[in-house]
Amino acid sequence: MKTAAVVANLSVLLLFLMAGAFYAWNEPLYYLSVQEDEILEWATFWGFVLAAGIYVVRGSHLLKADRQLPWFLFGLSLFCFFVAMEEISWGQRLLGYKAPDYFLEQNYQQEFNFHNVVDTAARKLILQIILLGYGVIMSTMSLIPAVARVFSRLRIVAPSPWLIVSFLAMFVVYTWYPWSHTGEWVELTMACGFAYAALFSHASFEDGGKNSLLRTITFVFVGIWVLAAVTVLVVRIANAAEPERMNQAQLEVEALAEDFAGGRLHTRCGIHKRLYTFVREYQQPYLLEGKFARLVQSRGEDARAAYLLDPWNSAYWIRHKCDDGREKRFVYSFGPDRRRDSSEWELGGGDVGAYLEPRR
């Protein structure tokens, strides 16, 4: 078990080292890795899915053994499943369905997930409490015999103390937040941490030989990345170009460009936001009254017009970039693959967009 714990902890620390290396030496690769629907997000999804499954198996074994409900393990399984589905917005981007109006208005990402409705500070505090409370404090308390007996009587299963290093590292890195989008890497390591905690608690390893847990941890870590890579490939194939909706999106971004050229809408250097956020934060309601709105409403799609969504029910974006006398402004959609392909300066890949006239 000691060797398995070393490997588990090292895999978590390795992910943080990778994040720091990418951020320092290859920033474009770093920012690509943290985009939605890229391999990092899918690895997080599969890590939590595997953790949920392992907790269910462990709980089922205990239920058969003593006929008492292992509520804590089943609760952990539900938690991991919920987090996994939140990570992919309950399949909303994948399937392209429109999120309920409440989430379009209250969720700054305009996606069907609950965690982005919560205030950022509160969301960060909740995650810190989970990492420190479950991963560190509960593990440490389980080393006290009297507390361990209470946990056993209440059917509470604390994570193995061997994993304290991993959970403490997640807490420190998340609190420190050394890189942009650090939270994405912490979520991935958290998925690994819960999967490892589920494995350490599993009864099948009690008599499985000293290398059984080590092999399984290695298999799970590799499996997370393989599943993520395959998912990214399958999703890209499934979301291939759709000529009809591509043409529709092109007409809409050109209408948006005309709305901006009308003179009432103003942007400023450094903006890169979803259009609906731009409208609300910078008090630009005119965008909801222009050519784009009329074009979309003529198709009977009032919600898309009101929330500035593209034909795949994802947000339209605006970017205004300035540097050393150079300036670029454009509006764009991620297109059918629901991923950002454009750079800071140029439209590209499968994105559908239109450049805006330079400011006078």
DSSP string of 33-87, one letter each residue: HTSTTSHHHHHHHHHHHHHHHHHHHHHHHHHHHH----HHHHHHHHHHHHHHHHH
Residue range 49-59: mean pLDDT, rounded: 95
State the DSSP code for 355. E
Place of tokens 């078990």: 1
Mean pLDDT over the full length of the chain: 90
Give the pLDDT of residue 295: 96
Can you tell me the mean pLDDT for 48-57? 96
Q: Dihedral of CA 180/186/188/189: which sign?
A: positive
Task: Locate 272 and state its tokens.
Answer: 């890169």
> How crowded is residue 129: how many other Cβ atoms within 10 Å of its Cβ?
12
- Give the residue, 16 or 240, on which the prediction is more confident: 16
- Please state, as a whole number, how many other Cβ atoms lie within 10 Å of the Cβ of residue 26: 12
Give, for 327, the enclosing helix (H) or strand (E): strand 326-333
Between CA 24 and CA 235, with CA 89 as vertex, the angle to 5 degrees is 75
What is the Cα 285 distance to its own chain's centre?
30
Tens-digit pLDDT profile for residues 11-27: 999 999 999 999 999 88
Given a cut of 70, whether residue 203 has pLDDT beyond it is no
**Between residues 271 and 116, which one has the greater pLDDT?**
271
Report the pLDDT value the prediction gives residue 24, as an integer from 0 to 100: 93
Of the ranges 45-54, 105-114, 202-211, 301-310, which one carries the lowest mean pLDDT score? Answer: 202-211
Strands 317-323 and 271-274: antiparallel
How many Cα atoms within 13 Å fall on the side-chain side of residue 138? Answer: 18
Q: Is the pLDDT of residue 209 over 80?
A: no
Strand 326-333: give its sheet, edge to edge: 271-274, 317-323, 326-333, 352-355
pLDDT tens digit sequence for 131-176:
999 999 999 999 999 999 999 999 999 999 999 999 999 999 999 9
Rg of the chain taking only CA atoms, in angstroms:
23
**Which of these, 201, 196, 176, lies nearest to 186 by C-alpha position?**
176
| Percent over 70 (pLDDT), the chain | 96
Side chain identity at residue 20, one-letter code? G
Block residue for tokens 């198709």: 299
pLDDT classification of 117: cutoffs 50, 70, 90 = confident
Identity (one letter) of the amino acid at 250?
Q
Confidence of residue 328 (pLDDT cuts 50, 70, 90): very high
